[in-house]
Amino acid sequence: MARPTILVVDPDDSRRKDLARGLAEFGYEVVSAENEAEGLRFATGLTPDVIVADAGATAFASGEVLDKLGGEGKARPLLVLLGGEAEESEEEPVAGVVRLAVSGLTAMGVLRKVHTALVGLELALEADARFESLQGTFQKRPLFDLLPELARGVVSGRLLMEEGEIALQDGEVIAARAGRVRGFKAFLRIARNAGGAFRLLVGPPGAEREIQKDQLSLMAAAIEDQHRYAEAVGKLPDLASRARLEMGPAFFSTQFSPAQQALLGCLQKPLKIWSLLDAVTAPDGEVLEELTRLHQIGFVVFEEPEYNVRVLTDSTADLPADVALRHGIYVIPLSVIFGNDVMRDGIDITPAVFYKMLESRKDVHPRTTPPTKGSFLADYRSLLRRYDLVSLHITEKMSQTVVNAREAKKELGDVLSEVRADGTQPVLEIVNSKQVSTGLGLMALFAARMAQRGLSARSIRERLEDMRERFHLLFVVDTLDYLVRGGRIGKARGLIGGLLGIKPILGLVDGEVAAIDKVRGGKAAHPKVIELLKERVDPEKPVVAGIGHAAAPIWSGRLRELLHEHFTITEFLLNEIGPVVGTHVGPGCVGVVMFQPTEEEAPLIAPLPTAE
């Protein structure tokens, strides 16, 4: 990767020298000028790729130098202006100009901000408002595309995502963390699950080396682990099941592999399969493979989860697959139709693929279809043999999904009247969530936790119907076009045609899209969302919150910071808006949902203990 040539224009002698020296150590070619006149002369003669200048240098601060240098088909350089305190502005940023607030910063602090801006330029990643990190989404920049770019740029720092963290030293992966797991195993788990937003903190890696493999070996191992994991999961029961050691006559004469020995060592008492994945150091795919073999030869038996109620939701909940699996939530897919292609949400098409198709196939607007009555019948018949069911779905005013679920229930008289072997009679409760995406996802999590705490299907349904009126969902879209074309504009139809310079704040009112408020300019939208949420919940009391975004990591990151500044958040869910919901809101949408539980509800919906 060719490094840009940098011109540093700064009358502050100490800062100029520190910047020039530091940037040169990062491998950049640096020229420095001590005043504005010298800077203009160097800029004209050298045509640098980047100019770092003090905001007091008038010719540079006004941006006129960019017009001179960018004429006659030449590329305009990036201009980085070093100024005072950060100020909020409703003005849209000028293309090619980065303003850094450096007042009070040490020389190292200024260097880190400038370096962050430069790495962002090289990698085409956008910085946050304070230039403390670069942000992106694995939808647009998959992990295995990003890592080679970081290696070519010899970038050090920390790559943060919901799934964990990867530490980099001079472009090499040196450490990783995913929950309680560290090192090589953690990297493999991150590679398997990473699919949402990420932040890159340019600077020290924050960890000692614990991974010795080179990048190609790491990626090859991750691909192998993904295949082994997927194949093994298909052969195993619910991963919330407990594995129990069964020592038969041949146990002491059997030769066990190292991974099998580690598994058996952990099974001195029954453990959930999820817990075994954390307890054994081998890669997850290998652990599940060896667990399957131990089961096949009779030394491990599985005990199904003890809860009697299972939660079923649909793919518009946009729940991360790992979260749904760990909570035993069954997800039935809606479908997206692109021209003649019919793809099941989350099975045949992922958010990353969907948003690329949306960008490349602009002549075709996708459509969506709900699960059929037949799909519900098949799933209900299968699950009701063992569980009572709570079937929780997208708001009825946006989809026929819950209608088809009710129609399927009408044809299940034989199943619902049949007494199981244990003497119980199946129960099926169907709930219109009046929510979508993150709101529906949080509601499904709450339902699953109540089920695992022993509440009946009827009690869960009653509580959900009480809670749903206190789920506050607000969202902002880049354009109303997708809502209009998909027929989901609802009560916000009056906004069409009158939005020049205005950004509407939308929400769900009784399950239907409605205009809640509006602001002038995009930057004012998120502060207004915070203000509206404060009118709906008590900011002094704990809340559960979530953000869903459609390929908009920067805006979702800024909104998340504001939420944590203004509310006491006991649990936070970040999810990608999937293909079905994305069809109707379009890329760039960012939504927030907030729920404030009562004192009675809080312990029922709280995260389940991780201890066995």
Q: Mind giving me the DSSP string for 243-312? A: EEE---TTGGG----HHHHHHHHHTTS-EEHHHHHHHS-S-HHHHHHHHHHHHHTTSEEEE--S-SEEEE
CATH assignment of 5-123?
3.40.50.2300
Q: How far apart are CA 325 and CA 240, in angstroms?
A: 8
**Residue 548, both tokens:** 């869903």
Fill in the amino acid letter for 535.
E
Burial of 157 by CB count in 10 Å (0-12 exposed, 13-18 middle, 19+ buried)? Answer: buried
> Given this model, what pLDDT does residue 460 score?
98
Q: Does the reported pTM lie above 0.85?
A: no
Residue 388 CA to its chain's centroid (Å): 31
**Residue 426, both tokens:** 């199946």
Does the pLDDT value for residue 453 go beyond 70? yes
> Given this model, what pLDDT does residue 489 score?
58
State which of 458-467, 495-504, 551-560 shows the largest mean pLDDT. Answer: 458-467
**Secondary element (H or E) of residue 396:** none
* Domains of the chain, residue spans: 5-123, 134-226, 234-303, 309-605
Give 275-329 pLDDT, tens digit per residue: 899 999 999 999 999 999 999 999 999 988 777 999 999 999 999 888 898 898 9
> Given this model, what pLDDT does residue 326 score?
85
Q: How far apart are CA 415 and CA 387, in angstroms?
A: 12
Q: For residues 149 and 158, is the Cβ–Cβ distance under 8 A?
A: no
Q: For residues 132 and 348, is the Cβ–Cβ distance under 8 A?
A: no
Query: How many Cα atoms are found within 13 Å in the side-chain-facing hemisphere of 6?
Result: 29
At 338, give phi and psi (nearest 5°): -110, 100
Does the pLDDT value for residue 368 go beyond 80? yes
> Given this model, what pLDDT does residue 504 score?
86
The domain 309-605 is placed in CATH, from the list 3.30.450.20, 2.30.110.10, 3.90.1200.10, 3.40.50.10170, at 3.40.50.10170
- Does 1.10.10 match the CATH number of domain 234-303? yes
Does the pLDDT value for residue 85 go beyond 60? no
Q: Read off the pLDDT band of 494 (50, 70, 90).
A: very low
Q: Which residues pair with 51 in a beta bridge?
A: 7, 79
545 or 35, greater pLDDT = 545
Q: Kindly give the pairing relationship between strand 78-83 and strand 97-101.
A: parallel
Give 110-119 pLDDT, tens digit per residue: 899 899 989 9
> Given this model, what pLDDT does residue 72 score?
59
Burial of 428 by CB count in 10 Å (0-12 exposed, 13-18 middle, 19+ buried)? Answer: buried
Q: For the chain, how long is the longest CA-to-CA vector? A: 91
Q: Assess whether the region 234-303 and the region 309-605 belong to the same CATH fold.
A: no
Give 215-226 pLDDT, tens digit per residue: 999 999 999 999
Helices and strands, counts by H and E, the chain: 23, 28
